[in-house]
Each structure stands twice: as structure tokens, then as C-alpha cells.
Structure 1
Amino acid sequence: MRDLITTAEIWKEGSMYTSYCPELDIASCGHTQEEARKNLREVIAIQLEETEKLGTLDDLLNESGYTREGNVIKTGKKIVCFEEIRIPVSIQ
């Protein structure tokens, strides 16, 4: 068993919460933040297991910027800031 270190973004949409892993471009949802987080973990685990069965796991991880270090799979990307920004645009 290995541990994958990744990012989870969670936001509320109506009465549901959406969870998203930007590194792997995988999303899920739930009725609570914890359920959305749990569902995202499950979807990521399924994706990794299925791509391993197909023999394409290393390709997926490499394309997503991940490396294996012992029992840990982690991305070389480091989030240095997460913030909401406002951009004025000239659109109708």
C-alpha cells in the first residue's frame, strides 16, 4: 500500500459540496464537506487501481507530475499561495 499526497478543493454548490483534485483532474461530490472529501478519496483510489490494472498508472502519475518515493507518491508541485482573485474583464 502506498500513500498519495494530493490537493483537494471543496466548495459548496447549492445544497451539495463539490470536491476536486486538480493534479489528477478528478471530481466528486457529497451532501457535506466530509462526504465530498471521502467520495473524492474513493474516486481517486478507484482511478489509480484501474489504471494500474491497465498498466498505465506510471504514465498517469508522470503526466500529472507525481513521483514515487518509497511508499509515498507525491507531486513536485508546491502550492505557495491559494487565494481568490478579482480580474476586471471587458465582456458583455
Structure 2
Amino acid sequence: MNIDYTIQVWREDQQFVAHAMPLDVMSSGPTPAGARAALYEAVELFLATAAAMDSLDEILEESGYAFKQGEWFSPIWVAMERHSTPIAA
């Protein structure tokens, strides 16, 4: 079984942070590639632990996945946008 997810990577000081959406799993590393590699491992461990605890279906449903014809489908992203909002000082 494969679980699809989308990754965002950004820089925080000297580290890069990778976030798997919609699973809401995060990890970091010294480079974007390092952050992605750490995230892949974190996602695998997260899903394996959820399966071992018999809560994988519940977690996937709560994350917006749909189970159809024996397969899990991730939410369909409509847009990923960057916005800014002014703050009164």
C-alpha cells in the first residue's frame, strides 16, 4: 500500500524543515535533501507505528484521506499559495 503526501521545505536559521501534508509529520536537516530524507524516515515510522497500534485508518481519515476500492487516496490539493498580511505596529 502506498500513501501519497505533499512535502513543504523551508529554512529556519541554520536548519531546513520538511513538513508532510496532510499527515502533519515534520522533520529537519542541515540541507533541503537532509530534511527530506529525515522526513521520509519519520513518515515511515509514523505510519508503521499507527498500523501497529491499529489506528492507521482513523489517522488517515482524520487527515482527509478517503478509502475507495481497497485503496487510500490523499486529499487533492487545489492550491498552495504564499500570502502576507500587514500588521499594525
TM-score by length of 2: 0.85
Q: Alpha carbons of 1:70 and 1:15: their partners in 2 closer, same or farther (altered >3 Å)?
A: farther
* Structure 1 segments unaligned to the other structure (5+ residues): none
Q: Structure 2 residue aligned with 1:80, among 67, 73, 78? A: 78
1:71 Cα offset (Å): 7.8
Deviations 1:41-71 (A, max 9, x none): 1101101101111111111111111134578
TM-score, structure 1 normalization = 0.82
Taking CA–CA contacts closer than 8 Å with sequence separation of 6 or more, which of the two structures ends up with the larger relative contact order? 1
Q: Unmatched 5+ residue regions in structure 2?
A: none
- Runs of 4+ residues over 6 Å off in structure 1: none
Identical-pair percentage: 26
How far apart, in 1, do the equivalents of 2:29 and 2:68 lie?
Answer: 32
Q: Provide the C-alpha distance between the structure 1 equivalents of 2:80 and 2:8, rounded to a whole number of angstroms.
A: 10
The aligned residue for residue 12 of structure 2 is 13
SS at match of 1:46: helix
| SS of aligned partner of 1:18 | strand
CA 34–68 in structure 1, closer or farther in 2 if over 3 Å, else same:
farther
CA RMSD of aligned residues (A): 1.9
1:42-53 equivalent positions in 2, closer than 5 A: 42-53=41-52
Q: What CA distance in whole angstroms lies between the structure 2 residues aligned with 1:12 and 1:43? A: 18
Instruction: After superposition, give the CA deviation of every residue in 1:7-43 in whole Å (9 maximum; x if it has no partner).
Output: 1110011221100123111110011111111111110
